[in-house]
Structure 1
């Protein structure tokens, strides 16, 4: 496990990307899904994917994950989103509806990582984008 079961390190990592209301929403998500999310974010970052928090606190999708050009001056619309809805985490391509087919499970994570690994790019954190 990338975090060596260090819960504090896991939460610090997640809080770098998520806004407070989204972190609160994760309180109702199962520990297994949160752990899977953290592993997924770690691996996505190692694949040089952009990972950024969304600015709209009312949105259910709170993280965008994708591959983008370094010249972009704002967090762009991504090609893969992590959403929290009805106390479950979902991987969603282009904001598709949440359902059993997109629930965050190990096989869905593998599919998403394969999708991302086929592209190249540069890893950006939300603070890396120029504020306008």
Structure 2
């Protein structure tokens, strides 16, 4: 019997998602690609089972710039990721301790203590509107 290297399900899934996310990022203009470079991505179901695509930005500034481009992002996610019903733009918590006892103008611009974000539902697909 010939030796066949194993390729477990996890490696296959990682390879698939890596390729999918690379294709997604490559589909945007250069400025959006630069914004996405330092982001993390993920998928998770909502409480009602709707698949959500998460973009976790490294800063509030990047998250706000991505939100300004949400129509383009949703368009590309919808085109490349069938079954994803919403996209979330999030920002992760600050890795350094932040004194939140007395909010100042500057502290309102720092990343949150916990992950926060905004969820954008996708419009229904054309075939769903026919039903």
Q: Same fold (TM over 0.5)?
A: no
Q: TM-score, normalised by structure 1?
A: 0.30
Q: TM-score, normalised by structure 2?
A: 0.30
